[in-house]
Structure 1
Amino acid sequence: MKVFSIKELANSYISDLKSKGLTVGLVPTMGALHEGHLSLIENAKKNNDVVVVSIFVNPTQFNNPEDLEKYPRTLDEDLEKLKNVNCDIVFTPNADEMYDKNEVAELFDFDGLDKEMEGKFRDNHFNGVGTVVKKLFNILKPNNAYFGEKDYQQLQIINKLVSITKQPVNIIGCAIDREDDGLARSSRNMRLTTEHRNSAAFIYKTITEAKEMINSSSPKEIEEWVNNQFKSHHNLVLEYFTIADESNLKSVTALDQNKKYRAFIAVFAGEIRLIDNIAL
């Protein structure tokens, strides 16, 4: 397993592999790797000659400096996990390597995708995501890049980014990897207290029940029901729940049989913010 922290070295090594006709799959991460990340890597390994994992906690996508500071950093453990799944290349730059001095997030026109849901609570977050992903694509030159559907809004925005920038990369969304009790795997889960971790399974339970209501209730009725479920749960605080069109992420009040919809949710378990979604 090759590990690079300098972008020029990573770029040169990968360019040489591609010149030999090898295909490259990229799994971008912020580290604190878990089974969800490893499932993305397994998907990448099936369809590419070489798999690259990037580990970089990207400062431009954090609105809260405290959240950035507390984000788990477990590089040694991450590298051990990557060795165990036979990852080929790991790119581990620091902020100075990825950003010039005083550089800020690039501004993109995501056609409103960034204004819905997460965008209402995390100003400029998706410009930060777009900036770092564009940089990673330029450095690592992947044929295919793999993103989990837990961050479904991010997945749609990455698709839009590729369209805007005309990057020669295929974006592949992978199903949400879940714990045995349904909680979507996330690096943030390791920061949950035991009590909040036990309570967090309620999130998936609730959106699963919401899905079952879709043929008998309107989106508004389902949203009201979900709100009431969380009002009676003392350990969890609902930030938002919405039913949205998968293509444009806009909340809907009625359903069209010819369109695809998802339910999206964000919940605070103590200080830890958890998101999830489910196809309807």
Structure 2
Amino acid sequence: MKQVSTISDIRSGVAELRAAGKTIAFVPTMGALHEGHLSLMRLAKQKADEVVVSIYVNPTQFGPNEDFDSYPRQMEKDLKACEEEGVSVVFTPNDKIMYGSGERYFGISIDELNEDMDGGSRPSFFEGIALVVNKLFNIIEPDVAVFGQKDIQQFQILSRMVEEFNHDIELVAAPIARANDGLALSSRNAYLSDKERKIAPGLYRALQYVEKQIRDGVDEPKLLLKHQQDELEAKGFKNDYLNVFSMDNMQPVQKLEPGTTYILAGAAYLGKTRLIDNIILDL
């Protein structure tokens, strides 16, 4: 496995693989790798001959009061995990490599798709993600890129970006990796105290309960969702959102129609930790 930190070196590494007739699957990460990330790499290996991973904590997707400085970083451990998963090349740039040292004059704006869910709670979050992923796609030019379903709004936005920016890349959404008690795996779970960790699966259980009621015939789930938010608050969560969203435009839906796919999604805080989760509803 190669570790490279410059754009010229990652392009050279990918070119060597291409010259050998290999296809490339790419997994972008911010490091602090856990089993969820590793499952993305395993899926990537099924989709292409060689896997390229990036490890970069992207500053443009963090708000001014968010956890950029404290975000977990464990490069040595991450590189070992990548090697054990058979990754061919790991790209570990710094901010200067990715964004230069001078003023930036261009960015990416997003309409409609980021108005609700995480985009509604974290202004400019998805613009920062789209910017860095667009740059990484231009640098690496993979055949396939693999992302996790846990960040479903991110996946939908990037899918539209790939279409509108004419990237010749197949995007693949990997199933959510979960702990034995159902908690969606996340690097930020490291922030949870022991007490909070025991409570944390409650968000997924609330989603499961709502899912069951919808599949049993509830087609206007507003009151049901409010009840589950109240239940979460009683358990110690601070709710951000809990709703059913359109798969097409990521906006809330009041009445559900058969034969349609929706996203049942929630976000809530436990202490300083923000948890997100979702279930895809194919009705």
Measured against the shorter chain, the TM-score band is: over 0.9
Is there any run of 5+ residues in structure 2 with no aligned partner, and where?
none
Query: Equivalent residue of 2:67, what SS?
Result: helix
Q: Pick from 225, 228, 231: which aligns with 1:226?
A: 228
Equivalent residue, structure 1, for 2:23 = 23
Q: After TM superposition, where is structure 1 displaced by more than 2 Å over at least 4 residues in a row?
A: 101-111
Deviates more, 1:250-259 or 1:26-35: 250-259
Query: CA distance change for structure 1 residues 266 and 59 in 2, over 3 Å: closer, same or farther?
Result: same
Shift, 1:24, TM fit: 0.2
Query: Equivalent residue of 1:267, what SS?
Result: strand
Query: CA distance change for structure 1 residues 273 and 167 in 2, over 3 Å: closer, same or farther?
Result: same
d(CA) in 2 for partners of 1:207, 1:105: 42
> Given that residues 106 and 128 in structure 1 are in contact (C-alpha distance below 8 angstroms), is that contact kept between their aligned partners in structure 2?
no
> Given that residues 202 and 232 in structure 2 are in contact (C-alpha distance below 8 angstroms), is that contact kept between their aligned partners in structure 1?
no
Provide, for residues 222-259 of structure 1, a one-character-per-residue CA deviation record: whole Å limited to 9, x for no partner. 221212212311x2211111101112111111011121
Is there any run of 5+ residues in structure 1 with no aligned partner, and where?
none
d(CA) in 2 for partners of 1:202, 1:44: 30
Equivalent residue, structure 2, for 1:240 = 241
The one-letter code sitting in structure 1 at the alignment partner of 2:37 is: H
Shift, 1:120, TM fit: 1.2
> Given that residues 106 and 127 in structure 1 are in contact (C-alpha distance below 8 angstroms), is that contact kept between their aligned partners in structure 2?
no
Deviates more, 1:175-184 or 1:256-265: 256-265
> Given that residues 191 and 272 in structure 2 are in contact (C-alpha distance below 8 angstroms), is that contact kept between their aligned partners in structure 1?
no
Shift, 1:104, TM fit: 5.0
Structure 1 position 80 matched with structure 2 position 68: no
Structure 1 position 34 matched with structure 2 position 34: yes
Equivalent residue, structure 2, for 1:266 = 267
Q: CA RMSD in A?
A: 1.4
Written as runs of structure 1 = structure 2, the 5 A alignment for 1:250-261 is: 250-261=251-262
Written as runs of structure 1 = structure 2, the 5 A alignment for 1:156-171 is: 156-171=156-171
Shift, 1:101, TM fit: 2.2
Identity %: 38
If the length of structure 1 is used for normalisation, what is the TM-score? 0.96
The one-letter code sitting in structure 2 at the alignment partner of 1:32 is: A
Equivalent residue, structure 2, for 1:187 = 187
Provide, for residues 152-202 of structure 1, a one-character-per-residue CA deviation record: whole Å limited to 9, x for no partner. 000001101111211111100111000000000000011111111111011
d(CA) in 2 for partners of 1:156, 1:6: 29
